[in-house]
Amino acid sequence: MDPLPSLAEIEAASPLVNAVVPPTPQFSWPLLNERAGCELWVKHENHTPLGAFKVRGGLLYFANLLKREPGVRGVIAATRGNHGQSVAFAGRRHGLQVVIVVPQGNSPEKNTTMRALGAELIEHGADFQSALEHARKLAVERGLHAMPSFHRDLVSGIAVSTLHFLRTAPVLDTVYVPIGLGSGICAMMAARDALALPTKIVGVVSAHAPMYALSFAARRAVSHPAATRIADGLATSTPNPEALEHILRGVERIVQVTDDETEAAMRAYFTDTHNVAEGAAGAGLAAVLQERAANAGRRVGVVLTGGNVDKSVFARVLQSA
């Protein structure tokens, strides 16, 4: 297993990433602080040009890919949305053909965005794992580069933002990070370790897609079906082995939140800050609220990982209060 990116590696990636995606802000909102019972700092990754944190990793990955494999003409990736938008955005900047495979029933608005970014979109399978396996098959058939969902370059690119968060906010006792396949939380660990901070990192998963929580408890990879209705960005069923190794070494614990808790957190973000959070992003705040008593008097951080939620879904969430 490769070590997490160092401070020097993250700083070397920063000019390339920040030239396209400027650092996003972090705010401590008074109403949200009252609700959470602590001093809560929110990293607003919903403020990137694609509305989510993933884009930074894609920019660095493609820049390095073309150095390693200058003959690459096209790439293919599996996604539930934000990773695919990152791949389409970065791929188009480099003049590459981009094919994206999503599961059936994927977010219509995320699909529309990926097509608008120039990607060929293919719907296949009932879940992310099925889409991933189909993407790998098509990579061989079409001679495309198979874009991973977890890679050191993805972590390094995202760590540009987590480093900015931990450097700019006051020193945090704990930071909560939602886990899809693991690039975001590994980027947070890389930044924490690079700065030698005492901050504890807590992973957050959907109780309806608990494979990383089960794997963390068992100290080994455990697969589990994903059935969340709202947190599609967390709807993965099989852990990435490398990400899991890092998580086992550097994460304090993993909290599971229900879809009801996640939707309540999405409403809280909108009520207290007027920010739109997608389900995966709401899960982070849901964990903070679940652990309100334990966080009393502490300084806590949470990553609002994205705001790409379909209009009809968000309307239902707001109306279901």
| Helix 82-93, helix 55-68: angle, nearest 10 | 50
Hey, how many other C-beta atoms are within 10 angstroms of the C-beta on 224?
18
Q: What is the pLDDT of residue 128?
A: 87
Q: What share of the chain is helix, strand, coil (3-state, %, to 5)?
A: 50, 15, 35
Give phi and psi for 189, each to the nearest 5.
-65, -40
Strand-pairing partners, residue 52, are 306
Three-state secondary structure call for residue 119: coil
Q: What is the pLDDT of residue 81?
A: 83
**Cβ neighbours for 255, distance < 8 A, ≥ 6 positions apart:** 176, 202, 203, 204, 205, 213, 287, 290, 291
* Tokens 């901050």, residue located: 199
Q: What is the pLDDT of residue 321?
A: 73
Three-state secondary structure call for residue 226: coil
Model pTM score: 0.96
* pLDDT averaged per 10 residues, the chain (length 321): 94 98 98 98 97 96 95 94 93 95 94 96 93 95 95 97 98 98 97 98 98 98 96 95 98 98 98 98 98 98 98 96 73
Q: Domains of the chain (ranges plus CATH)?
A: 7-53+152-319 (3.40.50.1100), 55-146 (3.40.50.1100)
Q: What is the pLDDT of residue 1?
A: 74
Give phi and psi for 125, each to the nearest 5.
85, 170
264, two tokens? 């309540």
Q: What is the pLDDT of residue 85?
A: 94
Q: State CA 26 to chain mean position distance.
A: 17
